[in-house]
Amino acid sequence: MQHRIVVLGAGYAGAIAAGRLARRLHREDVAITLVNAEPDFVERVRMHQLGAGQDLRPRPLGEMFAGTGVALKIAKVTGVDVDRKAVAVVDASGPGEPEAGELEYDTLVYALGSGWNDQGVPGAAEHAHQIAGRPGALRLRERLARLDAGTSVVVVGGGLTGLEAATEIAEARPDLDVALAARGELGDWLSPKGRRHLRKVFDKLGITVHEHALVTGVEADRVGTAGGETIPAAVTVWTTGFAVHPIARATTLDVTDTGRIVVDGTMRSVSHPDVYAIGDAALAMGPGDKPLRMSCASGTPMAWQAADAIAARLTGGKLPNVPLRYFNQCISLGRGDGLIQYVTADDRSVRAALTGRLAAVYKELVCKGAVWGVANPMLGLPARRRHVVRQPARAGSPVGTAA
């Protein structure tokens, strides 16, 4: 019998893991199923572009995984029973009413990712737009298209997503009054060179910056801050961080108080050895014993680590021992400008930074490289398929289960 590997979520982490597993293991030994709620791959790192009015190339998952041996199932995950080793899904791929079903697994890769986080701020859920996914980005796109010149748009959040959203909107719609509300100073984690360039770009694009402005309330036409300031906002874009999918919290998995699955250095659950978690859904430790941040920069190497660890355990190979570390933070500042902030292994900024047009080209190459890795799962990795080590079958379990 084949060893059943089920991968939940086809974002960067899940899609890369599924393709890498297909590359590592023989098809006759394993059955790999990739479950995703949408039929297309979403380039999440480009949602600010989509929201600002740009068109993105469709990337059907069926085409990406054609001929790989990975079975694609378009369905919404509604629950995971890690004790019974079963996933509850609602299949929405066919005509008519969606049908509920169940997928059994021997190894589970949990990569359901995250969505936006309103941080419990009153009015944010009702009035703010978010760009954590395609539906939200499309709603923002439609709203911006209806705005008259001079209308106020406020981006709440001074992190990477907020910087990219504010500059993208200001560049695409120079007729709008774009502002950014940051909890601290603009780019306060960047190097001096990075901060100087960021302010230069914001000044050039005419973006008003509200620093030390902790937003405590959102209304239809304004946001309020802890300092008592009221900022006009016909449109509010919320970019204050991410919240993980709630399904893991409802299981018996060991999770953090925010619902992230606690994993070891191979991305294996510390409580359930048949479960691996990658991407935003997992709490993995990086250099300096610091948790890896939620990002594509973390999710991709986590996917590599998990896939290689699963393959090694199934085939009796050597477990991967590659340290997960950071090299830079890539920030697009519109289509023609950018900032590449070089960082230490544990993600702290150093003096070196690349800015301007060259940085924009660098960031674009990074984005294209990320999606290329998803779209070409059988390329770019040496063919080292190994057979699953057959073990005596336990009652109710197929042979070849991971040790």
Residue 49 contacts by C-beta under 8 Å, 6 or more apart in sequence?
Answer: 56, 168
| CATH number of the domain residue 157 falls in | 3.50.50.60
Residues 178 and 123 occupy one common structural domain: yes
282, 300, 325 - which closes a domain: 325
Give the model's pLDDT for residue 95.
Answer: 67
Rounded to an integer, the average pLDDT of 121-146 is 97
Tell me the angle at which helices 192-205 and 160-172 cross, rounded to the nearest 10 degrees: 30
Mean pLDDT value of segment 201-224 = 98
* Residues 329-366 pLDDT 10s: 999 999 999 999 999 999 999 999 999 999 999 999 99
> What pLDDT does residue 93 have?
67
| One domain, residues 265 and 222 | no
Are residues 247 and 108 part of one domain? yes
Cβ atoms 68, 19 nearer than 8 A: yes
Q: What is the mean pLDDT of residues 365-378?
A: 87
Domain that holds residue 216: 119-238
Across-strand partners of 3?
Answer: 30
Angle (CA) 280 236 140, round 5°: 70
Note whether residue 219 is domain-resident: yes
Which DSSP string corresponds to 105-116? -SEEEE---EEE
Strands 30-36 vs 3-8: parallel, antiparallel or unpaired: parallel
Q: Are residues 141 and 283 in the same domain?
A: no
pLDDT of res. 395: 41
- Report how far apart, in Å, the C-alpha atoms of 167 and of each of 61, 149, 170, 232, 294 are: 30, 17, 5, 18, 22
For residue range 57-107, list pLDDT tens digits in order: 999 999 999 999 999 999 999 999 999 999 999 987 666 667 789 999 999
Give yes or no for residue 125 having a pLDDT over 50: yes
- Confirm whether 292 is domain-assigned: yes
Angle between helical axes of 296-315 and 357-375 (0-180°, round to 10): 30
Q: Residues of the chain with pLDDT > 70: what percent?
A: 93
Interhelix angle for 296-315 vs 12-24, to 10°? 30
In a domain, 175, yes or no: yes
Of residues 376 and 365, more confidence is placed in 365
Residue 107 Cα distances to 21, 136, 391, angstroms: 12, 32, 15
- DSSP states of 210-266 as a string? ETT--EEEEETTEEEETTS-EEE-SEEEE-S-EEE-TTGGGSSS-B-TTSPEEB-TT
Domain end: 265, 296, 325, which one?
325
- Bridge partners for 47 per DSSP: none
CATH number, position 282: 3.50.50.100
DSSP codes of every residue in 336-349: S-EEEEEE-TTS-E
Q: Does 402 or 361 have the greater pLDDT score?
A: 361
- Are 300 and 260 members of one domain? yes
Tell whether 354 is covered by a domain. Answer: no
pLDDT band at 402 (very low <50, low <70, confident <90, very high): very low
Conformational region of residue 206, where left means phi above 0, alpha means psi within -120 to 50, and beta covers everything else: left
- Looking at the structure, tell me whether residues 29 and 98 fall in a common domain: yes
Total count of domains within the chain: 2
Look at residue 1 in the predicted model and tell me its pLDDT: 86
Within this chain, do residues 9 and 110 fall inside the same structural domain, yes or no? yes
Residues 143 and 89 placed together within one structural domain of the fold: no
Confidence of residue 394 (pLDDT cuts 50, 70, 90): very low
pLDDT at 34 over 50: yes
Instruction: Evaluate if residue 165 carries a pLDDT over 50.
Output: yes
Per-residue pLDDT band for 381 (boundaries 50, 70, 90) equals low
Cα–Cα distance, 62 to 172 (Å, whole number): 32
The string of DSSP letters for 298-342 reads: HHHHHHHHHHHHHHHHHHT-PPP-PPP---EEEEE-SSS-EEEEE
**Same-domain status, 281 and 320:** yes
Q: Are residues 68 and 100 in the same domain?
A: yes
Q: What is the 3-state secondary structure (H, E, C) of 13-71?
A: HHHHHHHHHHHHECCCCEEEEEEECCCECCCHHHHHHHHCCCCCCCCEHHHHCCCCCEE
Which residue matches tokens 């400008």?
337
Decide if pLDDT at 380 tops 60.
Answer: no
More confident residue, 384 or 332: 332
> Of the residues 238, 254, 279, which one is the last residue of a structural domain?
238
Average pLDDT, the chain: 93
Within its chain, how far is the Cα of 44 from the centroid? Answer: 6
The four Cα atoms 17, 18, 21, 22 give a dihedral, to 10 degrees, of -150
**Distances 108 to 121, 207, 352 between C-alpha atoms, Å:** 35, 45, 40
Domain membership of residue 332 (yes or no) is no
Domain assignment present for 50: yes
Number of other residues whose CB lies within 10 A of the CB of residue 28 = 10
Domain shared by 147 and 74, yes or no? no
**Among 218, 238, 53, which Cα is nearest to 131's?**
238
Is residue 229 one of the residues assigned to a domain? yes
Question: Could you give the count of Cα atoms lying within 13 Å of 158 in the half-sphere of its Cβ?
Answer: 25
Which residue(s) pair with 354 in the sheet?
340
At residue 94, the pLDDT reads 65
Q: How far is CA 398 from the centre of its chain?
A: 33
Examine the domain organization and report whether 220 and 204 are in the same domain: yes
Of 96, 94, 145, 166, the residue nearest 332 (C-alpha): 166
**361 in any annotated domain:** no
